[in-house]
Amino acid sequence: MKVILFGAYARGTGTRELPGGRTPKYSILVVVSDDRLAQKSDFPLHAEDRLMREHAITRQLAVPISLSIRGIKSVHRDLSHGKSFVCGAVADGTVLYELPGHPLSLPMVPDHAAVLQERRADFDYWFSSASEFLEFAQISLARKWLNRAVFQFHQATEVLYHTVLYMLTGDSPRSQNVTWLRDRSENIVPALARAWPSETKSEKRCFKRLHDSYVKSRYDRQYRISEDELAWIAGRVDYLHSEVQALSCDRLGVDFMVRGET
C-alpha cells in the first residue's frame, strides 16, 4: 500500500561513510494491507534474503537495503502511541509509492511517562535475555563446546541490538541477521561501531564467522571456529553488553542495572 524511504538517504546524508568504511543502507518501510502478511508469514524474511543476495552476490543492487514490512493496523497503532521508529519514518521519510485512498494517521506527541514505562519493560525483557545467552556462551566456551558457544554469542549479540533498537526507537525488526541489526543500531549510535573493530582481515573474518554461526554452527558439519576466534568474539560481545547497558541506563535515567534490576 505504501513504500517509504527513511533514514540517511531520506535525510540526504546517505553518502557519508560509516565507521569501518561501510556506507549506509537504503532504509525502506513497506506498509501492507494485512498485519498477518508482515507478522505471521515468511514473506519478510524471504524479501530480506532476496535483497541481500541481489547486493552481495548478483551485484544488481549497488547499495544494500534494510527492509521493514509492517501491517497498516500496526502502523496506525504505533503512530497513535508515538512510537519513534514509525513516527520518524512517516514524518521525515519520502513516500516512493502509495495506493490512493489509504492515508496514514499523523504522528502523535507521545506520552513520555508511558513511553518510559514501556522502555523499562523492553529493557527488562531484552537485556535480561542477552545476559542469559552470554552466560550460556561462557559456559559452553569453558567446556570447549565451540560451535555451541559461538551460536550463543550470536544470540547474545542479536538480542543486544534488539535492546538498542527498542530503547531508542520503541521497535525492532523481526530478524536474526546480526549484520543488519548492527548496521541499523550503528546508524543511530555510531559509537557502537567500536564493538567490532574491522581494521584487519582477522577482525572482519571473526565477525563474519559470528554472522554465519546462526545457521552453520548447527547445521553445517564442516563449520569450524577456533578457540582464538571465539576468545576475540567473547571480548567484543562483553564490550557490546557493557555499552548497551550504559546506553539503556542513560535512556531510562537510572544509575545502574544488572539483568533488568536497579
pLDDT, position 3: 94
* Percent of the chain clearing pLDDT 70 (strictly above): 90
> Which amino acid is it at 2?
K
d(CA 84, CA 87): 5
d(CA 42, CA 209): 25
Question: At residue 259, does pLDDT exceed 60?
Answer: no
Residues 122/166, Cβ–Cβ less than 8 Å: yes
pLDDT in tens, 113-152: 878 888 899 999 999 999 999 999 999 999 999 999 999 9
Tell me the chain's radius of gyration from C-alpha atoms. Answer: 19
d(CA 38, CA 182): 22
Among 146, 151, 120, CA closest to 214: 151
pLDDT, position 19: 57
pLDDT band at 258 (very low <50, low <70, confident <90, very high): very low
pLDDT in tens, 189-248: 999 999 999 999 999 999 999 999 999 999 999 999 999 999 999 999 999 999 999 999
pLDDT band at 173 (very low <50, low <70, confident <90, very high): confident
| E strands present in the chain | 2-6, 26-32, 65-71, 94-98
From the centroid of its chain, how far is CA 212?
16
